[in-house]
Structure 1
């Protein structure tokens, strides 16, 4: 393979739909190599509900647009291949492979470069073998086979095949590294990073922004779905009736009883660049995940953002969070969760703690993470 003239194809969920580690890495890679991002269909089974209808309309509008560049801060070419919204049917998988291959051929024809495919998803095996990719890299960010609402057996089979095929495997948590090791492959550990400049500047600008947030406020941001322990929220919202529980992000699932709770508020999606300013409105930040295989395997992207906010943090005790137990209040049940929130409100982070947080974050920027990733690619002969 001619590694001097390499190009990268990232396969993941839609660009810009919500923050992801792959998007940060793609921007950093684009400083040195041509990078294209392939928007894929979701892995959830379509349902007859409002979310599926809205999501379907988003994809149709997306497909009608030409390929585009993301010009700030670096050029990333975003491709929107038309696809059938079905991850399971063998016929749909083959058809989608052909549709994606057609769009990739058009994009790659003028570039004359060897192509390295990096996927955060366990792609269908038909794609793995038939797309114009010279070498595959598996960037394992989650154990999707354990996600609620997904076809676990199918995703597990696709992942096993992808792990055998990949030239390089990078995982974001120790649990995921162990998961990959159980299938006979070694992987590199690369925990998530942070855009520290964005958070530092965003908080300074945030002093001039006034969000209409009720206080005392316990805040969450990220995807709102079944991985949140809603029993904890139900208990804490009743045990702490003066506190307001604010959820920021796209909503996939919220129990009806929670929607009727007066001190639980759903703000909807907020542009990620506004999160640093919004974080100034929080009295406490929370991470009430369920304790399940899917959450024990993940490395929450929001963790470093929470640390950068300078706010007190209360979170479920999970393997990926143990190393921050000196900076985060880790709890194991809903009673401790409510108590920790009440205590955290009265305990602002000390100067020593804020300094410790900042020192850690400075060594875990996305620029540093991307350089480490590129180093592994060089070691495996994929780039020069």
Structure 2
């Protein structure tokens, strides 16, 4: 069985596209997962301090030498003992040696693994493991991603692209950055069965989801690419709506934190998200215009579509194939109107309007059911299993 050494985010920390793919590819490859190698030098903040402490504890644990069960995986998950200082040439050379030593117990001269990296910082071990081939899987524009030392990481990425046999990108915008002769676009997938089967009738309502008002909901990292001022303005203009945010806060939200119709629920396990969306009326993507969003292909877009609920979103390139199924807006006034229009695509809200006749209500629900099915159908063939099969085909085409 071909060995695949994967450099990605911390396994189980959040459901990244690489993790979704590897959950399926582990049936076809001997996997070794290497947790996150930092893309910036730590700062003197509480958040960085906690992360460094957690990393230090993980490093002190004995490196697994055999497959272990970690968050539904059946392969080793190892913590790299490296220095998170991408701008230091000394740290980079040391990290390359440390990674080679760390991974020597998992591979051998005759195995010739394939290296898969989702992070440019893994470039320093490339060429040191007698690898058969190198795959760079790029899901973000690291030159504009928040929380990254952009200049040194850009240098690392360029070095990695030159060494890579294959570059897989998540969007057409990202593809423009790399050589066309070795770059393939593979857009994100979705856990279709899990998300499409959830509804307000079958999914239990989470206890921390407020009752009494229609809900506009968002889940994901609440970071610099979220338009906090837009959210504040829309929430003020729609006081009868509840605005729910699920995810870790990584930016200044003081402008909205105390608003009476804003609920910040914190991060939730991925498998609980369908239960939340099933009980809100409108899903939304209040993105700020920036380089990161221009290049992104957010997983949550396809998950929202699979759930079938109306969606209101800012404009961004990866939205284009689904624009007929999404209400888009730019200004706060446009967002307010889009949310009110999307609300008419909610059987629950329509059925509560006393002025609607029984016949008209039935017709509306039939129409709404059709809209729900259209949204779900748009991503029905975009499962992560299908995407992993496409990745497998790409790997088989790599040089022997």
Is TM (by shorter chain) over 0.5?
A: yes
Per-residue CA deviations over 1:202-234 (Å, capped at 9, x if unaligned) read 558953344331232211111111011112112
Aligned partners of 1:180 and 1:220: how far apart in 2? 32
Are the counterparts in 1 of residues 168 and 184 from structure 2 also a CA contact under 8 Å?
Answer: yes
Alignment of 1:136-151 (within 5 A): 136-151=134-149
Q: Does 2:65 match 1:47?
A: no
> Kindly tell me: are residues 333 and 130 of structure 1, through their superposed partners in 2, closer, same or farther at Cα, counting changes over 3 Å?
farther
Are the counterparts in 1 of residues 4 and 113 from structure 2 also a CA contact under 8 Å?
Answer: yes
Q: Where does residue 393 of structure 2 map in the other structure?
A: 375
Q: Does 2:352 match 1:358?
A: no
Aligned partners of 2:201 and 2:46: how far apart in 1? 36
Q: Where does residue 208 of structure 2 map in the other structure?
A: 212
> Kindly tell me: are residues 71 and 154 of structure 1, through their superposed partners in 2, closer, same or farther at Cα, counting changes over 3 Å?
closer
Q: Where does residue 194 of structure 2 map in the other structure?
A: 198
> Kindly tell me: are residues 93 and 73 of structure 1, through their superposed partners in 2, closer, same or farther at Cα, counting changes over 3 Å?
same
Are the counterparts in 2 of residues 224 and 254 from structure 1 also a CA contact under 8 Å?
Answer: no
Q: Does 2:98 match 1:80?
A: no
> Kindly tell me: are residues 85 and 282 of structure 1, through their superposed partners in 2, closer, same or farther at Cα, counting changes over 3 Å?
same
Are the counterparts in 2 of residues 93 and 124 from structure 1 also a CA contact under 8 Å?
Answer: no
Aligned partners of 1:186 and 1:60: how far apart in 2? 37
Q: Secondary structure at the match of 1:369?
A: helix
Are the counterparts in 2 of residues 205 and 277 from structure 1 also a CA contact under 8 Å?
Answer: no
Aligned partners of 1:234 and 1:139: how far apart in 2? 36
Per-residue CA deviations over 1:105-140 (Å, capped at 9, x if unaligned) read 11224x952211111112354333434533110111
Are the counterparts in 2 of residues 31 and 74 from structure 1 also a CA contact under 8 Å?
Answer: no
Q: Where does residue 103 of structure 1 map in the other structure?
A: 102
Give the C-alpha shift of residue 77 in structure 1. Answer: 2.0
Give the C-alpha shift of residue 142 in structure 1. Answer: 0.8
Aligned partners of 2:381 and 2:248: how far apart in 1? 30
Question: More displaced, 198-207 or 47-56?
Answer: 198-207
Q: Secondary structure at the match of 1:32?
A: coil
Question: More displaced, 218-227 or 150-159?
Answer: 150-159
Q: Secondary structure at the match of 1:136?
A: strand
Per-residue CA deviations over 1:331-357 (Å, capped at 9, x if unaligned) read 222321222123222322722222223
**Selected match of 2:241 from 240, 243, 253:** 243
Q: Does 2:265 match 1:267?
A: yes
Aligned partners of 1:44 and 1:245: how far apart in 2? 33
How many residue pairs end up in the alignment?
A: 375
> Kindly tell me: are residues 379 and 131 of structure 1, through their superposed partners in 2, closer, same or farther at Cα, counting changes over 3 Å?
closer
Q: State the TM-score, normalizing by the size of structure 1.
A: 0.90
Give the C-alpha shift of residue 367 in structure 1. Answer: 0.9
Aligned partners of 1:45 and 1:235: how far apart in 2? 35
Are the counterparts in 2 of residues 63 and 81 from structure 1 also a CA contact under 8 Å?
Answer: yes
Q: State the TM-score, normalizing by the size of structure 2.
A: 0.87
